[in-house]
Structure 1
């Protein structure tokens, strides 16, 4: 089967081309490796979906978008013998006991689970599932890749195995192209925040008292919202608050500032992007003064470089219908490709 997609050379040019008015290096951990792997994924990756003709109800829009995009993509195969990974979909409101029954039925009806005890399987669960005592649930949690919403529920995301779904709130490509400031525009605010993005009312009050910071409940319209983002150096997010607009912030060059009291291990595209060059992470212990001190202490050259990196990476945060190369759907699939199970068993070993 031939999978349509950008050629390797075109992809390299796409990744290395500057996307903002500021000349910045590509925002990837390794641009060349990413380009080669992505091209290989488009040509080779195959996924078998259990119960593909069923309708599933998920808790988040990102989960629904992922499954709809997957089922319409060339990655899906009806021949499980050629699949690299197997997708186990189940309704988002199922109890863990019911999820265990789903796995039990799969292992009883078909041989693929038992080859690796689920290590070449993945599933979507916005809140994540816990470590239960049932063998089927334990193997699913321990061995299979979990697609979780960002930010993940405490203790239910396994770093280096699980994948954080990109938020579904980002405007699709074409609804305001990625851009930095034009030559006749100037920064109006040091930082911008929407109320739902910061959970601590006291912190909101203290930050809101600074004339350089703009915090509001909701912009009056989309155009006003985009202007807020483009005219602000930083956008404030509380880890655990509303992060649905983080991709929009990056698209307009507003550097995400994530307020957190612990290391974050479930960042979207953590295997691909150099987040330290695109976001600022500030401890919550310093309060409002700590946040403002961290932002005002950054060198102008670094801020401009980060803004450019944000704009360059923002294309990967858009859920397009239908999917487009390098968008959120393809980047989630790419992370699954990186986690594909590499051990292939001869038929005689499991038949």
Structure 2
């Protein structure tokens, strides 16, 4: 049977037997429809179920690099994901945020990449996972308030419960939601089961602010487009011990600035300027880039450091690092406690030249994992996010 076109297909329908609903129930559903109409878009064609050949990237990685917890396990599971994983993208919601630039670009690229990938299925009965395509970034750009976004997501999920049996089958445990916007976790508060059961893929992965490790997934926040080439094989030109410039919008950032501003070897600045050529030159000239945590949200600073070959120094007690199940961050970064801020210079000075070279070389090897591409390429940021979601699918209990 031919499917109706997107232009004629109703966006929200009553389930079978809807004619028996009372007039009051029908009116209630219509009111709910009006509440979520800003989520609705016309449906377009989806990729077919046929698995496409991998696009771009090398077929094999270098297992000798040592940047993985276990190359053998990662490769085996990754290839299984490529063969088997199927995702049903619910209609409605948003197709792709208009902009694929700026500090929320990871969200836009994911929405675009999921439909460009081989993972999408038109048949929900064949799906392992179900994607809720609601873009907080796009809604905020349309002027919708934080409360409005939360209420809209709640009503959108309720409509899916009426139309499809899949949420109710698992209470949302095989559903996932993606956002890089600051609202991220707060946007899910209107649906308790989305908070407790579903996989939330978010840039705000501080687990003292609602992020649930081992269920939720840390989405790498990448500011795009990159204005300058990737750093690499340039250890001899890196003379500054450590560099950071940003807003003092958290306790650790305030402490970092208070203790080290004006130091001769640590270039620490309380600066609101982003993306300038001077700042990027400092990325290229520093051995270590300090990455202090923010009060609630993540920032692109870690991804910038990786891109420009500046070894990240993670200073956040509650931050779940992106791809932590796959990558051994201690092989290409320095991980400290926030309380180490007074010892920061001493710690970095005691990292030998040989240790720094090894960290830098490994950092160059993981750069590809923090790249977004269209269409997506093997082992890039999109595929590693899907791999993390795939891992969590295996612990779902029906």
Please report the TM-score for the alignment, with normalisation by the length of structure 1.
0.81
SS in 2 for 1:107: helix
1:15 is matched with 62
**How far apart are residue 122 of structure 1 and its match?**
0.6
- Contact preservation (8 Å) 1:96, 1:129: yes
Task: Provide the rounded CA distance (Å) in 2 between the counterparts of 1:120 and 1:251.
Answer: 33
Separation of aligned partners in 2, 1:65 and 1:292: 37
Q: 1:6 and 1:178 mapped to 2: Cα distance? A: 24
Distance, in Å, in 1 between the alignment partners of 2:307 and 2:165 is 45
| Compared CA separation, residues 227 and 306, structure 1 to 2 (3 A) | same
Match of 2:185 among 128, 150, 154: 128
Distance 1:198 1:97, change over 3 A: closer
Q: What residue in structure 2 maps to residue 71 of structure 1?
A: 115
Q: Which residue of 2 aligns with 1:103?
A: 157
Query: Mind listing any 5+ residue stretches in structure 2 that lack a counterpart?
Result: 1-49, 137-145
Unaligned ranges ≥5, structure 1:
18-24, 346-351
Q: What residue is the counterpart of 2:129 in the other structure? A: 85
Residue 22 (structure 1) aligns with: none
Structure-1 residue corresponding to 2:51: 2
Deviations 1:252-302 (A, max 9, x none): 431111223x243x2111111101222223333344x32112211223332
Residue correspondence of structure 1 range 199-214 to structure 2 within 5 A: 199=250, 200-201=253-254, 203-214=256-267
Quote the residue 1:243 is aligned against.
299
Corresponding residue for residue 170 of structure 2: 116
CA drift of 1:40 comes to: 2.1
Alpha-carbon distance change, 187 to 98 in structure 1, aligned in 2, over 3 angstroms: closer
1:157 and 1:230 map into 2 onto residues whose CA distance is 33
Q: Which moved more, 1:114-123 or 1:200-209?
A: 200-209
What is the aligned counterpart of 1:34 among 74, 95, 112?
A: 74
Find the counterpart in structure 2 of residue 255 from structure 1.
311
CA spacing shift, 1:312–1:52, aligned 2, 3 Å: farther
Match of 1:20 in 2: none
**Equivalent in 160, 163, 178 of residue 217 of structure 2:** 163
- 1:272 aligns to what SS in structure 2? coil
- Cα separation, partners in 2 of 1:297 and 1:41, compared to 1, 3 Å: same
Two-structure CA RMSD over aligned residues (Å):
3.2
Distance 2:195 2:54 in 1: 33
- Report the alpha carbon displacement of residue 108 of structure 1 after superposing the two structures with TM: 1.7
**Which deviates more from structure 2 when the two are superposed, residues 34-43 or residues 310-319?**
34-43
Distance in 2 (alpha carbons) for counterparts of 1:16 and 1:197: 40
| Alignment check: 8 A CA contact 2:87 2:119 kept | yes
Deviation track 1:8-61 (CA, whole Å, cap 9, x = no partner) reads 9x633x2337xxxxxxx3311111111222222222211101115744769933
SS at match of 1:124: strand
Matched, 1:328 2:381: yes
2:350 corresponds in structure 1 to 297
Which has the higher Rg, Structure 1 or Structure 2? 2
Distance apart, 1:98 and its partner CA? 3.6
- Paired position in structure 2 for 1:319: 372
- The alignment covers a number of residue pairs equal to 326
Q: Does 1:60 align with 2:132?
A: no
CA shift, 1:91, in A, is: 4.4
8 Å contact 2:154–2:188 — kept in the other structure?
A: no
- Note the C-alpha offset of 1:95: 4.3
1:191-213 Cα shifts (integer Å, max 9, x gaps): 11122487534532432322112
